Amino acid sequence: MSWVSIANILGIGLSTLSRRRSVFALLDNYDAITNSQQDDIIPDINAHTSDVGQRLVQGSLRGRGFRVQRHLRENPSYGPAGTLIRRRRLIRRRVYNVGKQYSFLIIFVVFLIFSGRSGEVLCGRGTGVTVIPNLTFPYKQPPSKCKRTVGDIRKMSAHHVGELTGQTVHLRASTEMVEIQGRQVETQSVMLQDASGTIRVQLWETQVGVVSFGKTYKFIQLSTREFQGELFLTTTRETTVEAVSSLLFHLCLAVI
């Protein structure tokens, strides 16, 4: 809330409000209220006025110029498939060091966000991690590490991830700009082929222009999508593209 809005609510002029702030030493630059201070302030207010919630307290403090962190505010949004997503706190990225690659972890106190078949596990302030050195049960390879053929992908539904190696048999020369969430995003369409068939791959932003016609590439972390009855592949933020020699590609086809 601006000072103009506050002056209008009080029914006084902006100069009068500024003068009164100066008299009471209420300057524009207030100290920020930290998370720990907020945790002490809000329960104390709730003890006296139980009908005053956290969001009302935060709004009142911000209206008076305080900088209040919003780490406990519920933030509803919508995922790509239109699924309602609710994040109840600001998720802070935290680095966990494990003994070796592909170590198995037990992660507890997490937030789950799902949109369709795919989802995310978000770690918050109360998240803990325990490394498990030895497992007593078999495990499955992560979907993003599974090598698939075009034939395998054709049998899948939307929102699955995987790895695909193939040769570009068609490359759209021009790119196009698509508006997504209010911003322009560059995209390019290519056709990828292996021994089992051909499928369209939609390249986005950083992956645009990284492939050439007639060459073979390995796409890691591709995701399946379906639009107007067509199943195709699309790159994600985690997608990586690696060039593969034609000899190695044909040897792989012979094995398949």
> What would the two tokens of residue 5 be?
């809005």
**Which residue bears the tokens 């990284």?**
210
| Three-state SS at 143 | helix
Out of 2-6, 51-55, 99-103, 168-172, which region has the weakest mean confidence (pLDDT)? 99-103
Q: What DSSP designation does 95 have?
A: -
For 62, the enclosing helix (H) or strand (E) is helix 54-63
63/41 Cα distance (integer angstroms): 16
Q: Please say whether the beta carbons of 221 and 236 come within 8 A.
A: yes
pLDDT in the model for residue 233? 92
pLDDT of 183-240, one tens digit each? 888 888 999 988 889 999 999 888 888 888 888 898 988 888 988 888 999 988 888 8
pLDDT digits (tens, 9 = 90+) for 70-120: 544 444 444 444 444 444 443 344 444 444 444 555 555 555 555 555 566
What is residue 253's DSSP assignment?
H
Residues in CB range of 244: below 8 A, 6 or more apart: 165, 216, 217, 218
Q: What local confidence, expressed as pLDDT, does residue 111 receive? A: 55
- β-strand 230-234 against 197-204: which pairing, if any? parallel
Assessment of whether the complete model's pTM goes beyond 0.75: no
The whole-number pLDDT of residue 88 equals: 42
Sign for the CA dihedral angle at 38, 41, 46, 49 comes to: negative
Amino acid in the structure at residue 3: W
Lowest mean pLDDT, pick from 34-38, 54-58, 106-110: 106-110
User: By three-state DSSP, how is residue 87 classified?
Assistant: strand
Distance in angstroms (rounded) separating the CA atoms of residues 124 and 127: 5
The Cα–Cα gap between 17 and 4 comes to 9
Q: Smallest Cα–Cα separation from 253: which of 214, 216, 226, 208?
A: 216
Q: Which domains does the chain have, with CATH numbers?
A: 3-63 (no CATH), 75-132 (no CATH), 143-255 (2.40.50.140)
In this prediction, residue 190 carries a pLDDT of 92
